[in-house]
Structure 1
Amino acid sequence: MSNTGGSGAGDGMYSKLIDDEAGYGELNIRPDVGHSVHPVSPIRIIPRPSGPGPYRLATICLATLCAILLISIIAVTANNKNKSQKSEETSEVQKQKQEANVTALMASISKLQQEKKKLQEEKDELLLGLASRRTTKAPNVIKPTPQAAIVCPTDWHLFNGSCYFISRTTRDWPESKSFCESQGAHLAIIHTAEEQTFLWNLLPRGHWNAYWFGITDEHTEDQWKWVDGTPLVGGFWEVGEPNNHIDEDCGYIVKTRVLERVPIRSWYDAPCTMYWPFICEKEMIPGASTAMPH
């Protein structure tokens, strides 16, 4: 009987131990040996929140800002490029307009120069015609018509019944006048374009080759007279002459290296005290001696 009771008590203890181990197994905790067992609270696992976390949200914001910045840079670059292209197009248009204006201006200048040249030629023709008409009306002018051959002395040149002398020495106007008179002549009196051209062709070209001839307004300003006292009719003055720039009362002819200069526009006025070569003239009478006094 006692064995049977002991056996029942042992079986009860064994069952209890098994139950206790099952409880520990459920808690996944093994009690320390030799210590009392205390109940242990189970570990609570915090569930991970669903949806984007803070780092992901920051990444998305940063990516968005980068995209916005990139778009802004592209837009600014495109705008600057458009402005640059527009500026270049505007500059090119302005350049083309300036070139067109310069071309038009040059064409206008060329046209005006041609018109000026044409007008000058017409003026020269009119002067020649006027000089020819006035030749027959010049007062107290008697040019003998040679009826026999006239031979001028050495260094004198014959034209239309007169002999002309081109000096190689220089004198002032009064001294030139006196020299010509000492030769039985006078400072040249020039009435026609043909006579003017003849004398001008005798003169050498130079930097400023000037020669006195027989005209002056020393008695009354702007009333030019020849050495024989007759008034000037017409004349072959350069444009803007005579101008009496510095008390200029005597006339002279100029022939320079400028090929465009023409005989019928070669007279100037100058102070009578200047020293220049001169031109003498002597009207010849047929049969008279051609010898000149010395």
Structure 2
Amino acid sequence: MHVVPLVQENLRNEPLAQQMSSPSSAQATEGMYYKLIDDDHSHGTGVAHGAHPVCAVRVTQSLRGPGPYRLATICLAALCAVLLISIIAITAHYKNKPQGGGNLASDSQHQGQDVNVSLLTATIHKLQEEKQQLQKEKDELQVKLAATKAPCVIKPTTKAPPIPSPIVCSSDWRLFNNSCYFISTIRHDWEDSQSFCQTHGGHLAIIHTAEEQTFLWDLLPRGHWNSYWFGITDEHTEDQWKWVDGTPLVGGFWEVGEPNNHINEDCGYIVKTTVLERVAIRSWYDAPCSMTLPFICEKEMGTNPQ
């Protein structure tokens, strides 16, 4: 409305005392006020027609009163306007501000959802373990069922191995372990002695153990220098003694200082004398292969099943 600016304009144009004391001035102001009301109404300010008398009376009375009342009225109107604007601003602020309760409710809802997810995950894990256990039990039951339904198979009885028959050596041959041994009374050189043994299905004796050596020693008669060829020689390579089957000698039962290859001595023989201090495990000597001596033959018999 244009009331306040017009009043202020009139107050600036004439002194306050004249405004208060001059009736004509009051009437003129009142007329001017009504004229402003009509102008506002005629310009479509939207003020209700019934409100004109009230507003007119209040303002007129205030303008006709003393100056302090007029000033207080103006201040109150300005204060009301400020309060109204403040209330509108505060209302708009709180409408736009999110409510804390909503956040709390949302947080609570999220927490509840997290708890539900954890419970579902634990339940799924437990169900998976139970499924695995049931599958294991199912497999075991299927194996047992298949075993009960399997046809009965009669296993053939294995034939017992035949009992080996005892080895029987020919006349003049002596048994030790699985071999038969022959102590000759005739004389040959080393090569002819090997040939004789081969014609009888054997060879010159091959001696590997002390038990075998002692057994043969005990078969030999004592004498001044009773000596017998057996199946060892180094005629192909000096000091590389080999058995007649081609295997190398390992160890041996040589007399102390033997073999010495004194005069091209390439064949081995066993000596048994009347000297009782001589023992079986130190009775081997080397001698020239051309010497004629009795000999010892060996024939492996193996096992003879019945």
TM-score of the superposed pair, with normalisation by structure 1:
0.48
Which structure has the larger Rg over C-alpha atoms? 2
Structure number with higher relative contact order (C-alpha < 8 Å, ≥ 6 residues apart): 1
Structure (1 or 2) with the greater helix fraction = 2
TM-score of the superposed pair, with normalisation by structure 2:
0.46
